[in-house]
A = this chain, B = another copy of it.
Amino acid sequence: MTAGYRIAVDAMGGDYGPRVTVSAACEALQRHPHLQILLFGQQSSLEPYLARLPDSIKQRLQPIHAETIVTMDDKPSFALRRRRDSSMFMALKAVAEGRADACVSAGNTGALMAMGRCILQTLPGIDRPAITSAIPTLNGHAYMLDLGANVDCSSEHLLQFAIMGSVMLQAVERIEHPRVGLLNIGAEEIKGNEQVRLASRLLSEEPELNYIGFVEGDGVFAGKADLIVCDGFVGNISLKSSEGLARLIGRKVRQSFTRNLYRRLLAVLARPILQELQEQLDPGRRNGASMLGLQGIVVKSHGSATQSCFSHAIDQAISEAEMNIPALISEHLERHLSSSRR
């Protein structure tokens, strides 16, 4: 399956840094016997975690010292200018130079995006890369794109997102004709702002897209579309609002089930059900977010990712490498561009 893939891991990103990233890398290496990982980070921070590893893992885990780190508060422009010796920059560089097949980071999203654009470059025909991730729905899951990389998007950008996402779903999820919806405040054609109304026209004219029209916020989780296209501001707020509500519900459930002895007893009996629900609905489980539109594979893990989440992001990077998503997007874009030129 994963014959010889090499993944560049930014070990310093995320809320927990090497404590999570190193153990997640080991978990991934155990799961994929042919995988190799390049681990970028400050030597002194990595060493305590590396010392304990068995030799079988050490052979396939190559630590590479990076002088600095990108913090969560660094402005993207600052990080790009001043953090060229950071673990994040160096991990992306490894992909650009062909030393790795993909990069995984849980660090500062804006900086990762800015560096990705600079180091890996966007694909021909793509103005801006975008971020996508899977979210749970009634009948499985759907992808939302963009989730925060681009705060202001034109309708042409939304079309590019639709094409990239559609290609990715065909490859990774093996859906032949992914249903593409545009996120809007109403399902009727007259609803929404100029940007989405114009984008709707562009998407409906694109022959290779299975465009199904506008989808409202509640339609996202009802599974009305396989791919929900939106600008990054709206996508980010939609996703985080839902995460926030999910967390609220989780808390209320715990409060309800601990109010008295009888309820605590019930909670013990219902524990497998409650755990199963949490796993199904935990937004962090399908954790990797893919940056699409770059000439290289970059997977962004959640800042608060746990070991299993981060190792899941590594898995995702491997499967995108297997499918060679950037090449597939590129192919599709060439067809799109040549047909729109005609």
Which residues of A are at the interface with B, using a C-beta cutoff of 8 A?
73, 75, 136-138, 148, 151-152, 183, 185, 188, 190, 192-194, 216-222, 230, 232-234, 236-249, 251-253, 256-257, 263, 266, 269-270, 273, 276-277, 280-281
Contact = CB atoms under 8 A, between A and B. Distances in A.
Contact of A238 (B151, B152, B241, B266): B241
Contact of A73 (B138, B152, B188, B233): B188
Given A248-B136, A270-B266, A273-B257, A151 B185 contact: yes
A5 to B, nearest CB: 32
| 6 closest cross-chain pairs (CB), A and B | A217-B240, A218-B244, A217-B241, A221-B244, A242-B245, A185-B236
Contacts of A269: 266, 269
A248 B232 CA distance: 23
Contact of A248 (B151, B221, B237, B243): B221
A247 B251 CA distance: 17
Nearest to A188: B73
A239 B185 CA distance: 10
Contacts of A216: 237, 240
Contacts of A251: 138
B244 A241 contact: no
Contact of A193 (B152, B183, B248, B277): B152
Contacts of A273: 256-257, 263, 266
A252 to B, nearest CB: 6
Given A192-B151, A221-B248, A233-B193, A256 B240 contact: no
Contacts of A230: 237
